[in-house]
Amino acid sequence: MNPDNDAGHGRSGVSRRNFLGGGLVAAAVTPLLNATAEAEAAEAASATADGVAQVLVRAAVNGAPVTVLVDPRATLLDTLREKLDLKGTKKGCDRGQCGACTVHVDGRRVLSCLTLAASTTGHEVTTIEGLADGDRLHPMQQAFVEHDGLQCGFCTPGQIMSAVAMVDDEGPARSDDEIRERMSGNICRCSAYPRIVDAIRDAQKVMR
């Protein structure tokens, strides 16, 4: 990559990261409703989609309070992607078999494709968009970059979310075999497993 171009992007303020960061803030704010809008939403809850009442969900997503009206059938995965515009969470199998949709609910790794959005009221949801500290990548993200722990990248957000909770919520793995066993719910169709294991082994050394 031409370093001059990088500098140019930096000056114009439209580098990829800044652009995505700006989009994230907007995405987190858009679904928030003020008091009046919330009352309207509650009223809308009595309205029907396919003849059934929609459900008003109040949760925290990546640290920001979110109020959103959903169809009772909507999964957390579809709600994140389609209503909250958080498309980092990927839809792989949509059947709880691949792990691409892994997010954290109250700090624990779960599958957003098998979680009904309607059941998430009162809970804290963290997605891949909520991992970095501003411009500073989470150590797990950094390790995946440094070890090239991916090929096509589609499973990567799920791999990273799963690995972060594996270390933070459940405790570091003591061997590579243990990493493989504890990460077995995240399938990589490109089979980048050796480098995924390398990344997790390194990242867990620097994670608190």
Cβ distance to another protein smaller for residue 50 or 133: 50
Q: What's the rounded Cα separation, in Å, for the pair 147 and 201?
A: 11
Q: Determine which residue in the list 162, 167, 173, 188 makes contact with another protein, applying CB under 8 A.
A: 162
Q: Determine which residue in the list 44, 60, 114, 137 makes contact with another protein, applying CB under 8 A.
A: 114
| 116: contact with another protein by CB under 8 A | yes
CA angle 180, 93, 152 (to 5 degrees): 65
- Cα distances (Å, whole numbers) of residue 38 to 41, 44, 57, 78: 5, 9, 11, 21
Q: Determine which residue in the list 28, 111, 155, 196 makes contact with another protein, applying CB under 8 A.
A: 111
- Touching another protein, residues 38-57 (CB under 8 A): 49-53, 55
Q: How far is the CB of 27 from another protein (least distance, A)?
A: 24
Q: Determine which residue in the list 10, 65, 96, 194 makes contact with another protein, applying CB under 8 A.
A: 96
| 88: contact with another protein by CB under 8 A | no
| 121: contact with another protein by CB under 8 A | yes
Q: How far is the CB of 16 from another protein (least distance, A)?
A: 29
Residues 6+ apart with CB under 8 A from 82: none
Q: Determine which residue in the list 5, 46, 47, 95 makes contact with another protein, applying CB under 8 A.
A: 95
Q: What's the rounded Cα separation, in Å, for the pair 25 and 65?
A: 12
Q: What is the dihedral of CA 48, 53, 58, 60, to 10 degrees?
A: -70
Q: How far is the CB of 181 from another protein (least distance, A)?
A: 5
| 166: contact with another protein by CB under 8 A | yes
| 67: contact with another protein by CB under 8 A | no
For 48, the 3-state DSSP assignment is strand
Q: Which long-range contacts (CB under 8 A, 24 or more apart) does 77-83 make?
A: 77/101, 77/112, 77/113, 77/115, 78/117, 79/117, 80/112, 80/125, 80/127, 83/31
User: What b-and-e string marks burial along 80-105, b requiring 16 or more CB atoms within 10 Å of the CB?
Assistant: bbebbebbbbbbbeeeeebbbbbbbb
| 99: contact with another protein by CB under 8 A | yes
Q: Determine which residue in the list 182, 193, 201, 207 makes contact with another protein, applying CB under 8 A.
A: 182
Interface contacts to another protein, rule CB under 8 A: 49-53, 55, 72-73, 75, 94-96, 99, 102, 108-111, 113-116, 118-119, 121, 162, 165-166, 170, 180-186
